[in-house]
Structure 1
Amino acid sequence: MKDKNYYILTTNQDTQFSRIFSEEKISAIQGDWRYFQCSRRCHDELYDSVETLHKLNDAIGPDLRVPTDMIPRCPKCGAEMEPWVRSWVFLEGKKYHEEHNKLNAFLKKNMHKKVLFLELGVGRMTPMFIQEPFWDLTYAWPGAFYITINPRDAIVPDELKNKGMAIREDIAKVLADTRKIFSGEMK
C-alpha cells in the first residue's frame, strides 16, 4: 500500500488498522476503544482511555472487580465514563463527524478515477455501514469495481455482476496467496 492511493473504512473498534496505517487514512465510524465518553453524553468531548484501562486491568482483584473509586468519571457531570463505541449512548459528535468528513473528502476527490471497493469480512449484521454504500458507489461510478472477500457472506448484487466479484474464502489465505502472486512465488 506504500505508494497507493487508499482509504480504510472500518466498523472495527479494536484499533488494529491504526497500528499499521496513518490515522488520516482511516475512518472508524463505530467508535474506538482508545477513547472514553460521558455515559450521559452531557458534552461533546472524548478522553484518552488507554492509560486508565491499563491501570484498571492492573487493579483487578481476585474477585474480578476493580475498586469503585477507580471507575472513570465525567469531569463535567460526574457520570461514569463509557468506551466510545457503538452502543445506546454512542456519542455521534465532533469526532464521529470528523471520521465521516475524512471519508467523504477522499471519496469526493477520487470519484472520477478508477476505484476498487475492497470489502474484507463484512457480515450481514451491519451492512448499512460499509457493504451497501460500497454497492451504491460501485453502481453509480463508471470507474468503480467491487470485491468482497468473506467465507460466508460474500455477496454481489445482480446489478453489479459486471462490476463486482465475490471471493468465498478465508481472508488471510486470499491475502497470503495474493502476496505470493505479486512477489512471483506463485504462478
Structure 2
Amino acid sequence: MNIGKENGNVEMKSKQKWKELIEENDYILVGVGEEWESDEMGEELSEAYERLAGMLAGTDYFVVTTAMDGWIWKTDLDKNRIVAPCGNRNFLQCSAACCEEIWRREDAPEGGQCPRCGASLVPNTVEEKPYVEAGYLPQWKAYMTWLQRSLNRKLLLLELGVGFRTPTVIRWPFEKTAYLNQKSTFYRVHEKLFQLPDNLDGRGNAVAKNSVEWLCSL
C-alpha cells in the first residue's frame, strides 16, 4: 500500500490546469463519498458541487455517490449521469420491504405506514435491513453501460472523500478500474484515507486534503 502523500503537483494545479487535464481524457469518472455528506447544504458544500459541475460541463462523465443526504440531486450535475447506490434519505420505503415501491418524503402515504402491509415507512438507504434497491437500479445499469464504453480509453478517475463505510461501491471498484485500464489516471482526495494501492504504476495520485475544501480551493 502506497501511503505517501501527494507531492504538491495536484494541489498546485490551477483551475485552468484542471480543465486541461479533464479535456485530455475521453471519460471522467467521479466518486463522491462521506466527506460530502451533510445535514445541510452549506455554502462550502454548495460551492464544491458548483465547481464540480463546472469542471465536468461538456465532458462525458458519470458520478457515483455514497452520500445519502440527497443534496447532489439539487445541483447542476446532469441527473442522468448520477447513481446513488446507497439510497437517499429524501425517499421512503416499507420497513418490511414488502414491495419495491418508494415514495418521496413529501408524497408519502398518510400516517407514515406502507399502504400495502401497514409496516412503518423508513428512509430508503442501505442502512435499512432489508434495503429496497429498486430506486437506484436503472441508473446503475446506465453506469455499467457507460463504464464498459470507457474500457481502453483515456479515463480520469476522481475520487472525492470516499472512506470505508461502503468500500465495495466506489473505493475498491475505482482501484480495480484504474488498475485494469492502463490509459487511466487516478486521483484520490481524502483528509485521512488518501492511501493508494501499489499496483497503479505511477498513475495514482494521493491528495491528503478534505475533498470539499480542496475542490473549493481550485
State how far apart, in whole Å, the 2-side matches of 1:51 and 1:96 are: 18
Aligned to 2:142: 102
State how far apart, in whole Å, the 2-side matches of 1:79 and 1:51 are: 17
TM-score, normalised relative to structure 1: 0.79
Aligned to 1:27: 83
Find runs of 4+ consecutive structure 1 residues off by over 3 angstroms: none
Aligned to 1:55: none
Aligned to 2:94: 38
1:45 Cα deviation from its structure 2 partner? 0.9
Structure 1 residue matching 2:136: 3-state secondary structure: helix
1:161 Cα deviation from its structure 2 partner? 4.4
Q: Which amino acid aligns with 2:97?
A: R
Aligned to 1:145: 185
Q: Is the 8 A contact 2:97 2:132 kept in 1?
A: yes
Which of 62, 70, 83 is the equivalent residue of 1:7? 62
Cα deviation code 1:129-155 (max 9, x no counterpart)? 101000000000121111100110001
1:38 Cα deviation from its structure 2 partner? 0.8
Counterpart check, 1:113 vs 2:153: yes
Aligned to 1:124: 164
1:176 Cα deviation from its structure 2 partner? 3.0
Counterpart check, 1:74 vs 2:119: no
Aligned to 2:129: 88
Q: Which runs of 5+ in 1 are unaligned?
A: 53-69, 179-187
11 and 172 in structure 1: CA distance in 2 versus 1, 3 angstrom threshold: closer
Q: Which amino acid aligns with 2:95?
A: S
TM-score, normalised relative to structure 2: 0.69
1:96 Cα deviation from its structure 2 partner? 3.2
Q: Which amino acid aligns with 1:22?
A: D
Count of matched residue pairs: 161
Q: Which amino acid aligns with 2:66?
A: T
1:51 Cα deviation from its structure 2 partner? 5.0
Counterpart check, 1:172 vs 2:218: no
State how far apart, in whole Å, the 2-side matches of 1:148 and 1:73 are: 42
1:125 Cα deviation from its structure 2 partner? 2.8
State how far apart, in whole Å, the 2-side matches of 1:155 and 1:50 are: 41
1:112 Cα deviation from its structure 2 partner? 2.9
State how far apart, in whole Å, the 2-side matches of 1:11 and 1:170 are: 16
Please identify the structure whose Cα radius of gyration is greater: 1
State how far apart, in whole Å, the 2-side matches of 1:71 and 1:167 are: 47
Q: Which amino acid aligns with 2:131?
A: F
